[in-house]
Amino acid sequence: MGAQVGDLHHVEIWVADLEAAIAAWGWLLTELGYSPYQEWPNGRSWRLNATYIVIERSPALSDRHHDRLRPGLNHLAFHAGTAGDVERLTAAAQLNGWRLLFPDTHPHAGGADHYAAYLENAEGFEIELCAAERTSVRTR
């Protein structure tokens, strides 16, 4: 199936530490089904269907620090499969350059009916791994 009007074409993320970003983002994107797409001295990209994600160390960077709490992009959210898939990815992500945000409310930091993991890498970029099904908080 080809791209549809309105589909996301690509996302370009500028990073200060290219090698660390390639390790963290490359692992994550591969786990989510993306394949290596392009490679050049200052960047890499991974593609899934008609969408690709670029990680680049641009010579035009005006700052070396990303702050997801400033105006601009806060995070990227990915469909990650079942709740079990989210948990598997969350555990593995913590061994691959990501840390769990909001651990006290995980996996419902986004609300009782939203099962997701919020993760942040060393440069402060946040991602959200969302379960396909709606899962309410259960009491034991």
Q: Which helix (H) or strand (E) holds 85?
A: helix 83-93
Between strands 116-121 and 51-56, the pairing is unpaired
Q: Rounded to two decimals, what is the model's pTM? A: 0.88
Sign of CA dihedral 59, 60, 64, 70: negative
Question: Measuring CA to CA, how many Å separate 68 from each of 85, 123, 125?
Answer: 25, 10, 6
- Which token pair is 112? 């009782």
Question: Measuring CA to CA, how many Å separate 46 from each of 8, 10, 30, 81, 88?
Answer: 14, 10, 8, 19, 21
pLDDT at residue number 138: 43
pLDDT at residue number 3: 82
Question: Measuring CA to CA, how many Å separate 109 from each of 18, 69, 114?
Answer: 30, 17, 8
Q: What are phi and psi of 100, to 5 degrees?
A: -75, 125
Domains in the chain: boundaries: 10-130
Write the class of the CATH domain 10-130: alpha beta
pLDDT at residue number 71: 82
Q: Can you give the pLDDT of all 140 residues of the chain as single tens digits?
A: 678 888 899 999 999 999 999 999 999 999 999 999 999 999 999 999 999 999 999 988 887 888 888 888 899 999 999 999 999 999 999 999 999 999 999 999 999 999 999 999 999 999 999 999 654 444 33
Question: Measuring CA to CA, how many Å separate 24 from each of 5, 94, 105, 114?
Answer: 30, 10, 24, 25
pLDDT at residue number 4: 86
What CA–CA distance (Å, rounded) separates 89 from 87? 5
